[in-house]
């Protein structure tokens, strides 16, 4: 059976080469008579994999000094709680930019742990556009400001990353890390669950500027401390070694393809194919997000009614186009076109969209 065109929102498509390489190492790793999954996490090969994955991530991003990478469990959702646990001191306020449901979740979690405020919100517009940041001037009692760079469910994405000055800007980049060039130094910290652009589920990459790392709270349980994770090189306890290894393969693939610049080029091309199919459909497909704020990772649209959307999802699946139903909380349609999704997949989907519109319009 051939591979389908996979538009799943996460876990998401991985390049076949990455899967095949992982398969070759699955039963036996580098002639050691056992797989990585059976090896001590304190063994030399595992330490080496963790070190190399960290290095490669920083190299791809172009942040060679001043930042450290941690590999943690619990997904990006754990970071929603760990950020305030580590950085929201009692006399400070965590400020959140709300631009979609994941950012709202992060804000709600922090509210259970300390004082929080909304810095800006697009909720009144039902997330159809990004909120105005107006220079983002933040009071001096701000512990940090949190921004979700790509809104996976709604399909919007920040193009201009705000400058938070001396206040640490913390980014949830789960659904667009490594997909475009950015001024990464605007962020004091960013994190990404692996299962969208970085590999399989099970591990979260957390990148923290050294000075912020030193300020992390050491009064909380050790397993939640960024400082303890850094001191132990992500080996405070047993990490998800296999997931980290797969991330390493995905990063090597990303580098071999031409790195972030190439991923950005492909993302532009992929997104343009789909938005063009939406915009030239004479209203048959309606984009959910205002054009300037549209995401290049998650393309969302609606159709005339739910029955037609259901039909689209069912029929497209028969053509091997998988994962196109919108998130259960918002409905509509969504094509997730992360780094592992090839341009051909988007070409096939765009052509299917035209065909479907001709038949049902």
Ligand X SMILES: *Cc1c(COP(=O)(O)O)cnc(C)c1O
Q: Which residue numbers belong to the known binding site?
A: 42, 76-77, 102, 152, 172, 195, 237-238
Closest of 194, 231, 193 to residue 214, by C-alpha? 231
Cα gap 344→232, rounded to integer Å: 43
Owner of token pair 């029955």: 307
Residue 156 vs 175, nearer CB to ligand X: 175
Cα–Cα–Cα angle for 15, 17, 18, rounded to 5 degrees: 70
Written as six digits, the tokens of 314 are: 């069912």
| Contact residue for ligand X among 21, 142, 156, 175 (CB under 6 A) | 175
Q: How far is the CB of 9 from ligand X (least distance, A)?
A: 7
Residue 10 vs 240, nearer CB to ligand X: 10
Q: Looking only at residues 59 through 78 of this chain, which bind ligand X when binding is defined by CB under 6 A? A: 75-77
| Contact residue for ligand X among 8, 142, 157, 174 (CB under 6 A) | 174
Q: Looking only at residues 87 through 116 of this chain, which bind ligand X when binding is defined by CB under 6 A? A: 102
193 contacts ligand X (rule: CB under 6 A): yes
In the chain, where does DSSP find H-type helix? 16-26, 44-61, 75-87, 101-111, 210-214, 226-231, 241-257, 259-279, 306-318, 343-360
Sign of CA dihedral 241, 246, 250, 256: positive
197 contacts ligand X (rule: CB under 6 A): no
Residue 8 vs 281, nearer CB to ligand X: 8
Query: Which residue sits closest to ligand X, CB atoms considered?
Result: 75
199 contacts ligand X (rule: CB under 6 A): no
Closest of 100, 12, 31, 69 to residue 229, by C-alpha? 69
Binding mask 2-21 for ligand X (x = CB under 6 A): --------x-----------
Q: Count interface residues toward ligand X (CB under 6 A).
A: 11
Residue numbering of the annotated binding site for pyridoxal 5'-phosphate: 76-77, 102, 152, 172, 195, 237-238
The β-bridge relationship of strands 204-209 and 67-72 is antiparallel
| Contact residue for ligand X among 21, 148, 197, 300 (CB under 6 A) | 148
Q: How far is the CB of 273 from ligand X (least distance, A)?
A: 22
Crossing angle of helices 75-87/101-111, nearest 10°? 40
Residue 86 vs 195, nearer CB to ligand X: 195
What 3-state class would DSSP assign to 256?
helix
Cα gap 126→237, rounded to integer Å: 41
234 contacts ligand X (rule: CB under 6 A): no
Q: How far is the CB of 77 from ligand X (least distance, A)?
A: 3
Q: How far is the CB of 156 from ligand X (least distance, A)?
A: 11
Q: How far is the CB of 241 from ligand X (least distance, A)?
A: 18
Residue 71 vs 312, nearer CB to ligand X: 71
Residue 142 vs 175, nearer CB to ligand X: 175
Written as six digits, the tokens of 76 are: 């990006």
Residue 158 vs 312, nearer CB to ligand X: 158
Q: Secondary structure of the chain: what % helix, strand, coil (to 5)?
A: 40, 15, 40
Phi, psi (degrees; rounded to nearest 5) at 70? -115, 145
Phi, psi (degrees; rounded to nearest 5) at 259? 70, -160
| Contact residue for ligand X among 54, 109, 172, 293 (CB under 6 A) | 172
Residue 172 vs 264, nearer CB to ligand X: 172
Sign of CA dihedral 189, 64, 133, 328: negative
Cα gap 342→14, rounded to integer Å: 10
Q: How far is the CB of 30 from ligand X (least distance, A)?
A: 29
Q: Would you tell me which residues interact with ligand X (CB under 6 A)?
A: 10, 75-77, 102, 148, 152, 172, 174-175, 193
């Amino acid at each position: 059976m051939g591979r389908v065109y996979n538009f799943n929102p996460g876990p998401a498509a991985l390049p076949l080469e990455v899967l095949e390489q992982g398969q070759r190492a699955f039963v036996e790793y580098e002639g050691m008579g056992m797989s990585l999954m059976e090896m001590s996490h304190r063994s030399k090969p595992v330490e080496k994999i963790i070190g190399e994955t960290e290095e490669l991530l920083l190299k791809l991003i172009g942040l060679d000094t001043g930042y450290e990478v941690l590999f943690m469990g619990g997904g990006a959702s754990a970071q929603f709680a760990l950020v305030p646990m580590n950085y929201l001191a009692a006399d400070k306020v965590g400020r959140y930019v709300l631009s979609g449901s994941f950012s709202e979740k992060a804000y709600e979690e922090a509210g259970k742990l300390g004082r929080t405020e909304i810095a800006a919100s697009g909720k009144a517009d039902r997330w159809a556009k990004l909120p105005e940041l107006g220079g983002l001037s933040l009071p001096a009692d701000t512990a940090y400001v949190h921004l979700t760079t790509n809104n996976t469910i709604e399909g919007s994405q920040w193009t201009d990353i705000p400058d938070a000055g001396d206040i640490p800007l913390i980014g949830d980049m789960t659904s667009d890390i490594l997909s475009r060039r950015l001024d990464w130094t605007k962020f004091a910290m960013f994190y990404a669950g692996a299962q969208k652009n970085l590999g399989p589920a099970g591990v979260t990459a957390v990148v923290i500027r050294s000075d912020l790392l030193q300020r992390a709270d050491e009064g909380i349980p050790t397993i939640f401390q960024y400082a303890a994770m850094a001191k132990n090189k992500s080996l405070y306890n047993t990490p998800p070694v296999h997931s980290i290894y797969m991330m390493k393969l995905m990063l090597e693939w990303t580098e071999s393809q031409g790195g972030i610049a190439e991923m950005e080029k492909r993302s532009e091309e992929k997104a343009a194919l789909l938005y063009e199919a939406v915009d030239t459909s004479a209203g048959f497909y309606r984009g959910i997000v205002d054009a300037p704020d549209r995401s290049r990772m998650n393309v969302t649209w609606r159709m005339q009614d739910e029955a037609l959307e259901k039909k689209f999802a069912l029929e497209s699946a028969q053509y091997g186009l998988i994962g196109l139903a919108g998130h259960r909380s918002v409905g509509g349609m969504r094509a997730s076109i992360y780094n592992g999704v090839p341009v051909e997949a988007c070409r096939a989907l765009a052509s299917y969209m035209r065909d479907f519109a001709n038949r049902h319009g």
